């Protein structure tokens, strides 16, 4: 009886495939968002990026300044794609945190 209950509660192969496809799609959307960052804002991808410098350039209203609208559009696109990643991966992360917490409590006892 336990074996039949276990098989009913286990996710189906197609359910796992759907979850994996959603995860892949979320990652692909984030990668696409990175590729769609305008050339004028390419510097935000660098490790040595200085946000103050970009903010000052966006305050420059001349043609030499950076466009806040372009920045905001890129920000929104990245934010939405990261939200999608979080939505798809939070359950596994949450489960691992609970497992770690439980193990830590047992070790401390």
Q: What is the pTM of this model?
A: 0.58
* Per-residue tokens: 102: 């439980």
CA nearest to 26, candidates 72, 98, 92, 73: 92
Backbone phi, then psi, for 10, in 5-degree steps? -70, 140
What is the per-residue pLDDT for 4? 41
Q: Residue 101: CA atoms inside 13 Å, Cβ hemisphere, count?
A: 6
CB atoms within 10 A of CB 85: 15
pLDDT in tens, the chain (109 residues): 434 444 444 455 666 788 888 889 888 988 998 888 888 888 888 899 898 988 888 888 776 667 888 888 989 999 999 898 888 888 777 788 888 888 888 888 6
């Amino acid at each position: 009886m336990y074996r039949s209950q276990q098989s009913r509660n286990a996710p189906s192969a197609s359910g796992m495939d759907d979850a994996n496809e959603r995860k892949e799609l979320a990652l692909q959307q984030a990668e696409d968002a990175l590729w769609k960052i305008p050339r004028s804002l390419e510097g935000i991808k660098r490790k040595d990026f200085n946000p103050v410098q970009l903010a000052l350039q966006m305050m420059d209203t001349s043609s030499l300044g950076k466009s806040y609208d372009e920045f905001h559009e890129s920000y929104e696109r990245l934010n939405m794609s990261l939200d999608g990643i979080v939505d798809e991966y939070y359950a596994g992360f949450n489960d691992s945190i609970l497992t770690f917490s439980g193990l830590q409590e047992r070790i401390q006892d």
